[in-house]
């Protein structure tokens, strides 16, 4: 049986780090998980393929074996994922499982149903202010999640009672049927109906969870938002996701950050853009102005003859870099305000100024005059 290359399956290079492998697996597993793709019959096979590749590559010993010998290191048909150790003897039915990837007519969920399984990851969307993104923040969030029932500790059975082993499937949670066909012997594996695939029958269900072993709970969780996060940043909080099944660990909680737009500041990566309005005399004469920043007020010297749109930089007044330390800059873009209302005195002064400017203009024709001439207007 030919197998696809495990590195190819996960879309990673041969020298991928354990972290890369885990990341690639998480991404693909989420994409192809049968629960997410109930209508896509190929998703399950892809999911199995990804899981198999991950099982091998995430284990340094198995990975080394695979690198050296390929999937033949794990016997014909590729490495069989499951609780059995590498090299253990596989029973008769399992050899068929190996060839047929878990058996016809069964689902991977059915197969894993009576084994411990990690809980699902949870997502929480958190909106923060730009100030919080810059300084970091501690936030309490409230979420509804599934937890292991505290009364029965997840067994589903009323305290003092015990679940009994299902006598239909003998506790395996699966029903196997061996059939003779033209192609030879085939094994059909399906979840046991009597116990719902769990292998156990609960005779006295827990009064709190009604036998499900889990309860929905509202929880307050403290999230520490590090300085420098941006919209799209994710904060992972281990083990704060949904409860696992049958003693499996809980999933993780992912907090997705959205930074709200700010009234005055625009963020561009680690830099902040701020527009500073100047009077036209400040722009012409130069000035010392005070500019707000996310780290308090800062002084900025405007040189004389500053044009509208000119940019100045306040070093280190931007957003902290998330990983490498240090901060971005604040850029100040100047706008020049033209007065709309003038007192008689101001008008007089400006007219006087205008006459001197006109005189200069005749000596040195301005760009605008040249434009006017070019378009033939007066
Ligand atoms: Zn319970
Ligand atoms: Zn059963």
| The pLDDT value given to residue 95 | 35
Question: Rounded to whole angstroms, how far apart are CA atoms 83 and 11?
Answer: 26
Q: Tell the CATH topology of 120-154+208-261.
A: HSP40/DNAj peptide-binding domain (2.60.260)
> pTM of this prediction?
0.58
For the chain, the structural domain boundaries read 1-89, 120-154+208-261, 265-338, 346-378
| The pLDDT value given to residue 72 | 60
| The pLDDT value given to residue 109 | 42
- In CATH, the architecture of 1-89 is Orthogonal Bundle (1.10)
| The pLDDT value given to residue 83 | 37
Instruction: Measure 205 CA to ligand 1 centroid, in angstroms.
Output: 7
Instruction: Measure 208 CA to ligand 1 centroid, in angstroms.
Output: 5
| The pLDDT value given to residue 107 | 39
| The pLDDT value given to residue 358 | 79
Which ligand has the shortest distance to the CA of 215?
Answer: 1
- In the block, tokens 């930074």 appear at 259
Do the domains 265-338 and 120-154+208-261 match in fold?
A: yes
Instruction: Measure 114 CA to ligand 2 centroid, in angstroms.
Output: 10
- In the block, tokens 């198999």 appear at 52
| The pLDDT value given to residue 315 | 96
pLDDT tens digits, residue range 93-148? 333 333 333 333 333 444 445 678 899 999 999 999 999 999 999 999 999 999 99
| The pLDDT value given to residue 238 | 94
| The pLDDT value given to residue 363 | 61
Length of the chain: 378
User: Given this structure, which CATH class describes domain 265-338?
Assistant: mainly beta
Which ligand has the shortest distance to the CA of 208?
Answer: 1
Which stretches in the chain have pLDDT values below 70? Answer: 1-3, 69, 71-114, 360-368, 376-378
pLDDT tens digits, residue range 170-185? 988 888 888 877 777 7
Phi (first) and psi of residue 360, to 5 degrees = -60, -40
Q: For residues 135 and 219, is the Cβ–Cβ distance under 8 A?
A: no
């Amino acid at each position: 049986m030919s197998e696809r290359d495990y590195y190819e399956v996960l879309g990673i290079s041969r020298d991928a780090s354990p972290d890369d492998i885990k990341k690639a697996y998480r991404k693909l597993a989420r994409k192809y998980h049968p629960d997410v793709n109930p209508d896509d019959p190929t998703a399950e096979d892809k999911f199995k393929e990804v899981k198999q590749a991950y099982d091998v590559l995430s284990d340094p010993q198995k990975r080394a074996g695979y690198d050296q010998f390929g999937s033949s290191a794990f016997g014909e048909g590729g490495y069989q994922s499951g609780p059995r150790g590498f090299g253990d003897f596989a029973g008769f039915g399992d050899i068929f499982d190996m060839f047929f990837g878990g058996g016809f007519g069964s689902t991977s969920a059915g197969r894993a149903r009576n084994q411990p399984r990690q809980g699902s990851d949870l997502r929480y969307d958190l909106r923060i202010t730009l100030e919080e993104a810059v300084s970091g923040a501690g936030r309490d969030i409230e979420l509804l999640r599934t937890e292991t029932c505290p009364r029965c500790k997840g067994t589903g059975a009323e305290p003092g009672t015990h679940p009994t082993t299902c006598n239909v499937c003998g506790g395996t949670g699966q029903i196997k049927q061996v059939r003779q066909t033209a192609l030879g012997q085939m094994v059909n594996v399906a979840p046991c109906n009597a116990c719902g695939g769990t292998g156990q029958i609960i005779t006295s269900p827990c009064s709190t969870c009604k036998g499900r072993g889990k309860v929905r709970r509202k929880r307050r969780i403290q999230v520490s938002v590090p300085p420098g996060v941006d919209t799209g940043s994710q904060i992972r909080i281990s083990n704060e996701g949904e409860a696992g099944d049958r003693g499996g660990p809980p999933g993780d909680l992912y907090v997705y950050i959205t930074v709200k737009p700010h009234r005055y500041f625009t963020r561009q990566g680690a830099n902040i853009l701020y527009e500073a309005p100047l009077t036209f005399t400040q722009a012409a004469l130069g000035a010392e102005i005070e500019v707000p920043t996310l780290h308090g007020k800062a002084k900025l010297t405007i040189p004389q003859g500053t044009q509208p749109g000119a940019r100045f930089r306040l070093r280190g007044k931007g957003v902290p870099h998330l990983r490498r330390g240090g901060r971005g800059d604040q850029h100040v873009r100047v706008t020049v305000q033209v007065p709309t209302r003038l007192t008689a005195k101001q008008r007089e002064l400006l007219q006087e100024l205008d006459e001197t400017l006109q005189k200069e203009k005749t000596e040195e024709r301005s760009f605008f005059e040249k434009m006017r001439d070019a378009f033939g207007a007066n």
